[in-house]
A and B are shown apart, each in its own frame.
Chain A
Amino acid sequence: MEKGGFSPVGLRVLVVDDDPTWLKILEKMLKKCSYEVTTCGLAREALRLLRERKDGYDIVISDVNMPDMDGFKLLEHVGLELDLPVIMMSVDGETSRVMKGVQHGACDYLLKPIRMKELKIIWQHVLRKKLQEVRDIEGCGYEGGADWITRYDEAHFLGGGEDVSFCKKRKDFDFDKKLLLQDESDPSSSSSKKARVVWSFELHQKFVNAVNQIGCDHKAGPKKILDLMNVPWLTRENVASHLQKYRLYLSRLEKEKELKCYSGGVKSIDSSTKDAELNSGHQSPGKSSFVFSEGIFQKATETDPKPLASASLSDPNTDVIMPPKTKKTRIGFDPPISSSAFDSLLSWNDVPEVLESKPVLYENSFLQQQPLPSQSSYVTNSAPALMEEEMKPPYETPVGGSGVTADEFLMPQDKIPTVTIQDLDPSALSSMKLQEFSSNVTNNTEAILRSLNCELPESNHSASLDTDLDLSWLQGERFLANTGLQFQDYSSSPSFLSELPPHLWYGNERLPDPDEYSFMVDQGLFIS
C-alpha cells in the first residue's frame, strides 16, 4: 500500500472462528477480496497474535461463540488494547446478541452464512476508523479542517474502491504531512497507516507517572498529562482516550475490591506480583489488595471513539500542537511523584462530563484467577443499582461533578456478577461521561485500604521510575510500591491507583498464562 494512501487491497484481516469449516471458507472468501488473511481457531491465540504483531492487522473478524473465550470478551480486549475495528459473526441473529455486539464496540455484526459482498466492504470500517483518528488529530489544531476532511474523505474514499492517496488530493492541506508524520513516528506500522497509538508499557508508564505527578491539587486532564508525558508525537486526543480507558479499568478494580471485601473472600492476588519486576521491590505479601478507583470511567466505544473522547474530555485549554516528527519510543521521564498523586485522579476538573452511572469493572488483574461468583459475566456499566450495596457510606456531592448520587455509585453486590450488557441502558451508554467520585467513595476506599494497611509499603521508594519498570497490577499498596509513590498520607489519600496491569499494555512480555487469562476473560472487560 502506498504511503499516505488507503486501499482495500492487502487489508490485513485476522479471522477468528472455532469452526474449521467456516474458517476455511472465510479464508478463501477474504483472499478472493484480495485481503491478506490470517486465520485462527481460538480467541486466545488470536489475542496472542494481535499482541505479538501490534499494528500487524487492520481488522479482526470473529465469531461470537468460541470455546475458550466469549467473542464479546475478545472484542473488548481488542478494543481496549489495540483499538482495531472488530466485526462479529454468528449464526444467531437475535437482536439481543447483535445489540451486545454493538455495545461491546463491534463495528459490524454479520450473520452466517456470510456472503462475499459483505466481506468485500469490510475495509470501510478500517477507513472509517482512520478518518476518525485523523479527525481527532486535525480537530486539535485545525478548526474546520476536520470537517473538510470528513466531507472530502468520505465522498472520495467511500465512493470508490481504487487506491486513493491523501497526499494527492489535499494540496492546500497539511494532511499528508500528518499522515507521513504518523508513519514516521511509528516505523513499525505498515505504510497504510495509522494514526493509532499503541500504548506500550513504557508509554503507559509515562502516562501514569504524569497522572500521578499532577497530583490532587491540579486538574489531571489530558492536556496536562500530555504535557507532562513529554511524548512529542502523542496528541491530546490519544491521551484523552487512553485516560478514559484507564479510568474504566480503575473503576472496575475498585468494584472488584469492594466486592472482595464484602464477600470476605479476599484472595491473594499475588500472581501479579510474580510478574512484576518492581524496581522498588515492594510486593504485597500474599494478601489481596485491590486497586481502588476514584472515579467511574468509561471507555469510548470503538465505533464511536471520537465523540466520546471529545465529549468527555474536552479541555477548553487544549490546543494540541502537532508533534514533531521524531518519535521517542523511550521517554526518559521520571517525574517526581507526589504523595497526593492519587488525588489527582479524584478531581478531574477539566473533565466536564460526569459519568452518569455505569462503573466499569475491569478485572483486577488479567493475571488473577479469582473466582468471581458468576463466571461468564463481566461487570458492565449497567445498573447504578449495582453500586448500591457496594458503597454504603453516604455520598457527598463529588467535587466539581454534576453530582454523582449514591444511586449511581452503589451497586448491589449480588448483582455485580450477573450484570450483563443487556442490563445496560443504551442511552446511558451512548452518553458515557466521566464522573468524579464523591469523597465518600474515597472514604469507603480508604476504609478498605486501612484494613489492608499492614500491606502498605514504606513510602521510601525511589521516585525515579525506570521506564523499563514493569508494573504489576495495581493492588492497593502494591501499586504505590510499584510506582514508588511517596505516600506519607496513604491512609487518608484516596486510593486511586492509576495503573493498568502490565499485560494490558504492549511491550510487556509477561502476558498472563492461560489460566490467569481465562480468569481475566471470565471477568471480562466491558467496553461500551
Chain B
Amino acid sequence: MNTIVVAQLQRQFQDYMVSLYQQGYLDNQFTELRKLQDEGSPDFVAEVVSLFFDDCAKLINDMSISLERPDHVDFKQVDSGVHQLKGSSSSVGARRVKNVCIAFKECCDVQNREGCLRCLQQVDYEYKMLKTKLQDLFNLEQQILQAGGTIPQVDIN
C-alpha cells in the first residue's frame, strides 16, 4: 500500500466532501446516512442515493407531463410530485434539490405554470448535478479502498 497515495486520496476525498457541504449540495442528513453504513452494508449510501435519483427521474418525468399542456395543467399532480420530491430529497440530504422544491411548491400553490416549469427545469438540473458530484465522491472512495486505505470520517461543522 502506497501510504502517500492513500493519504493524498483521503485528503482529496475529505476536501471534496467538505466542498459539497459548503456549496449546499448536501446537508447533515447525508452525514447521518453515512453513519448508517457499516460492514454489513458497505454500499448503503450508494444504494440509497441511487434509489433517490431514480425516484427523481420518475417524479420529474411525471410532473413534466402534467405541466405539458398550457391549457390543462394538473396542478394537483404536480403538487403531489413536488411533495414527494421534497420528502425524498430530505432523505439523502439533497439540500439544493429540496430548496428548489420549496420554491416549486409556491409556484404550484398559485398555479403558476411558467414558474412551475422553471422550477422543474431547475430541479432536474440540480439532481443531475448532485448525481455527478456524488459519483465523483464514490469514485474517490473506491480509489482509496483499492489503494488499500480506509474511507476517512469527514467532520462537517
> Which A residues fall within an 8 A CB radius of B?
18-22, 24-25, 28-29, 32, 63, 65, 90-92, 112-113, 115-116
Cα-based distance from A20 to B41 in the complex (angstroms): 17
Q: How many residues of B contact A (CB 8 A)?
A: 23
Rounded to whole Å, the gap between the CB of A98 and the closest CB of chain B is: 16
**Sample of 8 A–B contacts (CB below 8 Å):** A19-B55, A19-B91, A25-B91, A90-B87, A91-B83, A92-B83, A113-B91, A116-B32
* Chain B 80-111 interface 0/1 with A at a Cβ cutoff of 8 Å (1 = within): 10011011101111000000000000000000
B127 at the interface (CB under 8 A from A): no
- Residues of chain A within 8 A (CB-CB) of B32 are 113, 115-116
A65 and B79 alpha carbons, distance in the complex (Å): 12
Known: A22-B91, A116-B32. 15 other contacts (CB 8 A): A18-B84, A19-B84, A19-B87, A19-B91, A21-B51, A21-B52, A21-B55, A21-B92, A22-B87, A24-B51, A63-B87, A91-B87, A112-B90, A113-B90, A115-B32
Are the CB atoms of B83 and A20 closer together than 8 Å?
Answer: no
Contact present for B88 and A25 (CB under 8 Å): no
Q: Do residues B48 and A25 form an inter-chain contact, with CB atoms below 8 A?
A: yes
Residues of B within 8 A of A25 (CB): 33, 36, 48, 91
Are B88 and A29 in contact, CB atoms less than 8 angstroms apart?
A: no
CA distance A28 to B51 in the complex (A): 14
Q: A22-B88, A113-B29 are in contact. Are A32 and B52 (CB under 8 A)?
A: no
Complexed CA–CA distance, A211 and B87 (Å):
47
User: Are the C-beta atoms of A112 and B87 separated by less than 8 Å?
Assistant: yes
What's the Cα separation between A275 and B104 when bound, in Å? 47
Q: Are B36 and A32 in contact (CB under 8 A)?
A: yes
Q: A20-B51, A24-B47, A116-B32 are in contact. Are A65 and B90 (CB under 8 A)?
A: no
Contacts of A112 in B (CB 8 A): 87, 90-91
B44 interfacial contact with A, CB 8 Å: yes
Which of A28, A91, A115 is within 8 Å of B86, CB to CB? A91
- Closest partner residue, chain A, to B84 (CB atom): A19
A40 vs chain B, min Cβ distance (A): 16
> Chain B contact residues: over half helix, strand or loop, or mixed?
helix
Q: Is B48 a contact of A19 with CB atoms below 8 Å? A: no
8 Å CB contact of B44 from A22, A28, A63, A115: A28
The 10 closest A-B pairs by CB, nearest first: A91-B87, A21-B91, A113-B29, A21-B52, A21-B51, A22-B91, A113-B90, A28-B36, A20-B51, A112-B90
Closest CB in chain B relative to A97 CB, distance in Å: 12
> What distance in Å separates the Cβ of B64 from its nearest Cβ neighbour in chain A?
19
Q: Is the CB of B91 within 8 A of A65?
A: no
Q: What are the residues of chain A within 8 A of B88 when measuring CB–CB?
A: 19, 21-22
Residues on A with beta carbons closer than 8 Å to the beta carbon of B55: 19-21
A21 with B83: CB separation less than 8 A? no
Please name all residues of chain A whose beta carbon is closer than 8 Å to the beta carbon of B41 when the two chains form the complex.
28
Chain A hits for B44, CB < 8 A: 28
A32→B47 CA distance, assembly (Å): 17
Residue of A nearest to B93 (CB): A113
How far is A92 from B88 in the complex, measured between Cα atoms in Å? 12
| Least distance between B32 CB and chain A CB atoms (Å) | 7
- CB <8 Å contact, B83 and A65: yes
Residues from chain B with a CB closer than 8 A to the CB of A20 are 51, 54-55
Closest Cβ of chain A to B150, distance in Å, is: 21
Report the nearest A residue to B30, measured CB to CB: A113
Q: How far is the CA of A32 from the CA of B35 in the complex (A)?
A: 11
The CA-CA distance from A274 to B151 in the complex, in Å, is 62
Nearest CB in chain B: distance from A511 CB, A: 27
Output the least CB separation between B37 and chain A (Å): 9
Contacts of A28 in B (CB 8 A): 36, 41, 44
Q: Please, how many angstroms separate the alpha-carbon atoms of A447 and B51 in the complex?
A: 58
**Which residues of B are found within 8 Å of A21, using beta-carbon distances?**
48, 51-52, 55, 88, 91-92
Residue of B nearest to A65 (CB): B83
Bound complex: CA A115 to CA B47 (Å): 19
User: Among the interface residues A21, A28, A113, A115, which one has the most CB atoms of the partner chain B within 10 A?
Assistant: A21
Tell me which residues across on chain B come within 8 A of A24, comparing CB atoms. 47-48, 51
Q: Which residues of A contact B33 (CB under 8 A)?
A: 25
Would you give the 0/1 interface string for B59-85, flagging 1 where the beta carbon is closer than 8 Å to chain A?
Answer: 000000000000000000000100110
Bound form: Cα–Cα A278–B47 in Å: 52
Residues of B within 8 A of A90 (CB): 87
Q: How far apart are A502's CB and chain B's nearest CB, in angstroms?
A: 34
Q: Please measure, in the bound complex, the distance between the C-alpha atom of A29 and the C-alpha atom of B36, giving whole angstroms.
A: 7
Whole-angstrom CA separation of A18 from B59 in the bound complex: 13
Residues of B with C-beta under 8 A to A19: 55, 84, 87-88, 91
